[in-house]
Amino acid sequence: MRNLERFTGVGVKVNLPTQVSSRPGLDSAILTGSSWIGQLVSAVILILCARELSYEQFAALASTLAIAAVIVAGVDFGTNSLWFVRLSSGTLSLAEWRNLAGAKFAIGFLLLILLGAASLILGPICIQIGLVFFFQLVQQTLFVFHKVTDQNRAVAASAVLDRLLALGLVSFWAFLGIDFGDYAYLPFVIGSLLACILLFLLIQKGYRPSLPFNKLLKDYASGSRDFGIQSLVGAFRGADVYATLILAGSTQSSLYSAVSKWNMPIVIAGSALSTVAIPLLASRGFNRADLKVLKVPLGIFFGVILLSLVVAIQSELAVSILLGPMYADSSEILRFCMIAGALFAMTFVLGAALQAVGRQKKVALISVLSFVIQFVLVFIMTPFFGALGTVLSMCISQLISLIVLLVCFISQMNKLKFVNDAASQSVDQ
């Protein structure tokens, strides 16, 4: 522990851990394990919904979740990533974060009210999207505080609680034989709501979000812009489910939706690795010595990628066991989903590393170009190949993005090596 006056923004010593974790391997394991459990439960929820709902109802649920994710990314606009980096590097205090987070919540609540009003004209899907979006926005923002203050167990517990509550509700409805197509979104809302309450109560009272807007608007306009572009692009990628619904119909959209999230454990492993690595990169830059510290998260990450390739090879068996004959055509889609997930996770890690050392604009530009390539291919391929065309478009765009980011990463490493060598020579002289 150390004096964190600058970190907390108050003139007293507080008993908060340092920004850089002293146990990155354990932290990565906790975050990865809990996220895997949460995503496994989410997969079970979606499998139950796929079995219990019609193609049309399941496609509507998948579209609701995808659109909500886009709105979350739009309102957040990269501020969570920006704040995490700034808190980790000591350039943002927890007191300042408290004000910024409160302002973001107020903007989200205003948008929720507007969506509620729109539902009177456009139908109940608007309020459904609004409820899912708002509580996910709050939950993801509260994660920042707990991660940066080394309270990863709170993040893990809330993520698992969220999904388990949702699973319990869906299982209860399925057991009773209730047709829950019109309110299939509710488990995702209730789970996130209770997780938000838990996370909020675990924050010390002096750091709970309040409501000034001016600093948040400044972050929107400047510092978080590049993070925001990348997070929006990521969310819009998830909306390819809705694009498939429009271009190929509800059957193809359902076939894709049923397996499109099965690659999330790979993405989660990449996110956990980034969560542990970003504080190190933001505070110390690229340091070869840190590779030893990160060996456990790196091992988990590449182990999960190998496991995903096994699932890709055995996709027909996995689909037949978990989804049944109704979704037999999803096996080929699943195969390429797992490949796309592995490519996306690697691009995510490389992008996060470059962002942490100040290359946000470059990462944002690459993300936008990759997104444009993906959706041009979606509109070309999906009408002819259905959902398989959608996922192939993702594979191609992610492969291009990975190659470009890898070149940028190697270039950045070489630049830092040149600077360090020059500095060493000047010291010797």
Q: Which tens digit of pLDDT belongs to each residue from 303-345?
A: 878 888 888 888 888 888 888 888 888 888 989 988 988 888 8
Could you tell me if 336 and 395 are in contact, meaning their C-beta atoms sit under 8 angstroms apart? yes
End-to-end CA, the chain:
38
Lowest-pLDDT range of 178-187, 212-221, 370-379, 406-415: 212-221
User: What local confidence, expressed as pLDDT, does residue 418 receive?
Assistant: 41
Give me the percent of the chain exceeding a pLDDT of 90.
3
- This prediction has a pTM of 0.58
Residue-wise pLDDT tens digits, 351-378: 877 876 667 778 878 888 888 888 899 8
Q: Which of 190, 143, 133 is nearest to 34 (CA)?
A: 143
Domain boundaries, the chain: 23-413
Decide: 351 and 279 in contact? Cβ < 8 Å: no
b/e burial code for range 186-206 (CB count within 10 A of at least 16 → b): bbbbbbbbbbbeebeebbeee
Burial (CB count within 10 angstroms: exposed 0-12, middle 13-18, buried 19+), residue 155 = buried
